[in-house]
Amino acid sequence: MTAITVIDEPENPLRRAPLVEGTNDFTSVTNIVARVVENKTPKGWYLMFGAAIALLLNLGAMIGYLIFTGIGVWGNNSPVGWGWPIVNFVFWIGIGHAGTLISAILFLFRQKWRTSINRASEAMTIFAVMAAGIFPAIHVGRIWVIWWVFPLPNQMALWPNFKSPLLWDVFAVSTYFTVSLLFWFVGLVPDLATFRDRAAKAGRTVAARVYGAFSLGWHGSNRHWIHYEKAYLILAALSTPLVLSVHSIVSFDFAVSIVPGWHTTIFPPYFVAGAIFSGFGMVLTLMIPARQWLGLQELVTLNHLDNIAKILLLTGTMVGYAYGMEFFIAWYSGSEYEKFCFTNRAFGPYWWAYWIMVSCNVISPQFFWFRSLRRNPMFLFVVSIFVNIGMWFERFVITVSSLNRDFLPSSWGYFSPTIIDILTYAGSFGLFFTFFLLFCRFMPIIAISEVKGVMPQANPHHGHDDHGHGHTAAHTH
């Protein structure tokens, strides 16, 4: 028998890097994740949570002021009728795309490195979609008639306009939110049961009851696992098309109109690439401090960050291609309005926003061609902030620079946000971080059961190498 020798050197490209580092076994992985919740709340958490709550209260105040006063408190005005609210909506909904991509698409492609970041990314998705959903809702102005977007019987003989992409948006986003929430919850059940059992053992009755209520009586029988795996696979299959469809439909809000700069067929794939780019950017922004502060470096390893950086490089370059292609088509179309729109975009009154967008989204990820930079958490964190900024500016550029100089020069204008615009946007971060900090404090931030499944100990052959069945392969773990 030929012995297969796998050489254990870190630089050997044939060697697959371990997904869990250090000398961890199943118990220690559970301990690492559970101690985040069971340890005394750190002071830093209170500080950050206080700041997040303050911003959230500010959001409530801004929304109240808006509802009682009217849309005029924002900078939206002719010719720029869509200002920051839509920019913020697309910004947040874009961020909400990484979670489901990681949990569904990477799951179906058997990308095992997803396991340690999928839980937090899904949580990020859900909170980002919540932050996103606020903006179109308050943007209708008369929020008390928001139910008009649903096909409900009424005395006005009023029915939603099914030809309008704005209506498709309602259904796309609410479907996405529902499926993401279910997917997240189903994945959480075994881990919540672990937390329940630990809490019960430690005599923390209230915690045991709360975790117990949400773990739906899970006790880890084979039958439970069979159903769980099936449900998880079905939800992954349901979520996969949604990752692509939701942002395509968001892009239709623009592309189905006839405004130069919006009316382009490249929008759906361009928006989806941008959404994944921004989502992974936010994953890095959240996970790099989280792994540091919560002591998760052995589970969220440099290899994970390296992989995310590669996706940023890919999607950032795709977005850059889309920016270039827009200019090519504007020239190739021969339409003077298209040409004017794109010249105006890059060299008009919003040139600064355009070049911020290009430098953050196209240039900054190019550093990730270098392995050493992909594995430098500090550098990754800084670039991820640039990605967040760049992707917000992308939506700003698309929305505002297409509208500010329309067909009629007499109605040209310059959009400026008001203080209410700025505070409302800041408030949406308050909502997002309030939920995310609560999640970090009280929930299993890493999918314990899934991480265990990708450890060498989970392999049925683990520890059976020396049984003398003739398989003398010198495995090293």
Partner 1 sequence: MTVLFPKWTNKIPVFAALGAACKGLVVIFVVWFWFSPKHIDVGYQPEQPILYSHKLHAGLLGMDCRYCHREVESGPHATVPDADTCMGCHKQVKNDSDRLTLLRDNYGDGSGDNIPIPWIKVHLLPDYAYFSHAVHMNANVGCTSCHGRVDQMEIVRQVEPLSMGWCLECHRAPEAHVRPAGVKPTDMAWTPTEASIAAARERLTRGELNPPTHCSACHR
Residues contacting 403, CB < 8 A, separation 6+ = 79, 80, 81, 82, 259, 415
Q: Largest Cα–Cα distance in the chain?
A: 88
Tell me if 456 sits within 8 A of 477, measured CB to CB.
yes
HEC sequence for 431-474 = HHHHHHHHHHHHCCCCCHHHHHHCCHHHCCCCCCCCCCCCCCCE
177 or 432, CB closer to partner 1?
A: 177
Residue carrying the six token digits 């049961």: 193
Reduce the DSSP state of residue 77 to 3 states and report it: strand
47 or 145, CB closer to partner 1?
A: 145
CB of 144 to partner 1, least distance (A): 12
Tell me if 361 sits within 8 A of 394, measured CB to CB.
yes
Name which of 368, 269, 271, 277 is nearest 315 in CA terms: 277
CB of 207 to partner 1, least distance (A): 11
In degrees, rounded to 5, the angle at the alpha carbon of residue 325 between the alpha carbons of residues 321 and 326 is 120
| Eight-class DSSP state of 365 | G
**Tokens describing residue 317:** 């370059």
220 or 295, CB closer to partner 1?
A: 220
- Measure the CA–CA gap between 232 and 230, rounded to whole angstroms: 5
CB of 228 to partner 1, least distance (A): 16
Tell me if 96 sits within 8 A of 132, measured CB to CB.
yes
208 or 447, CB closer to partner 1?
A: 208
155 or 372, CB closer to partner 1?
A: 155
CB of 212 to partner 1, least distance (A): 4
Task: Count the residues in the chain.
Answer: 477
Angle between helix 165-201 and helix 222-255 axes, rounded to 10 deg = 150
CB of 196 to partner 1, least distance (A): 7
CB of 249 to partner 1, least distance (A): 24
94 or 212, CB closer to partner 1?
A: 212
What is the distance, to the nearest Å, from the Cα of residue 314 to the centroid of all Cα atoms in its chain?
A: 16
200 or 382, CB closer to partner 1?
A: 200
Binding site for partner 1 (CB under 8 A): 152-158, 196-197, 200, 208-209, 212-213, 216-217, 219
Amino acid identity for residue 27 in this structure:
T
107 or 218, CB closer to partner 1?
A: 218
CB of 72 to partner 1, least distance (A): 17
Residues contacting 276, CB < 8 A, separation 6+ = 97, 98, 101, 243, 311, 315
Reduce the DSSP state of residue 402 to 3 states and report it: helix
CB of 448 to partner 1, least distance (A): 18
CB of 176 to partner 1, least distance (A): 20
53 or 179, CB closer to partner 1?
A: 179
